[in-house]
Amino acid sequence: MDKDFVNIYNLIQELSWYFGAHGINGECCGDLSLVEYMALKKINDSENITVQEIGHALNFTKSGASKIIDRLENKGYVTREISSLDGRVCCVNTTAKGAETALEIVHRYSAYVSEMLRTQNTAMVKNIKTVLEILVDSVHRQENLLHGKLPQGGGGMSIFSIDN
C-alpha cells in the first residue's frame, strides 16, 4: 500500500481524536456525545426533518436514529411533532435550548480552529478548507457506493457557517 495513504489515514485519525468525543480539553459537546451532537446539528440545520432522514444522514437505521433522538428529547434539545402534511410522519425540531447549544458548540470549535491556524496566511487557510472539502466529498461518494446509492454530490451532513 502507498505510504501516503497510510499517512493520510493516520492524520485523519489524529484529527478525529481532537474533534471527536475527546474534543477540546477532553470534552466534545457539554452533556452531548459526539453522535448526539451530530444529530442535533443536522436537526438544527433542517426544518421538520423526519427520524428516517436523520438516520440516513448519520448512516444509522431509523431505530438507531430514534434512540439518539430519544436521548436528545430527554435532555430538552429537540421535540417530536406529527407532520401537518402527513399524520403518519413524525418530524423533529430543535428547541431554543437545542439551537443555542448547537450554535455555541460551533462558535467554540470555530474559535479553536481560528486560534490553531492564526499563523497561517489566507491562501493556506483556503487551501486547507479546499482539501478538507475534497476529502469529505470523497468520503460521501465512497459511502454512497458502498451502500449502492448513486453519487449525488455533496454529503448527508451539512456544514454550519457563521457570518460575521
pLDDT digits (tens, 9 = 90+) for 2-12: 999 999 999 99
Q: How far is CA 119 from CA 6, 106, 113, 114, in A?
A: 27, 21, 11, 9
Q: What is the pLDDT of residue 153?
A: 46
pTM of this structure: 0.76
3-state secondary structure of 82: strand
Domains and CATH numbers, the chain: 3-146 (1.10.10.10)
pLDDT of 27 strictly over 50? yes
Cα angle vertex 101, ends 74, 79, to 5°? 35
pLDDT-derived band of residue 164, with 50, 70 and 90 as boundaries?
very low
47: left (phi over 0), alpha (psi -120 to 50) or beta: beta
C-alpha grid cell, residue 155? 454529503
Q: To the nearest whole percent, how much of the chain has pLDDT over 90?
A: 54
User: Would you list the DSSP string of 90-119?
Assistant: EEEEE-HHHHHHHHHHHHHHHHHHHHHTTT
Amino acid at 137: D
pLDDT digits (tens, 9 = 90+) for 67-109: 999 999 999 999 999 888 888 888 999 999 999 999 999 998 8
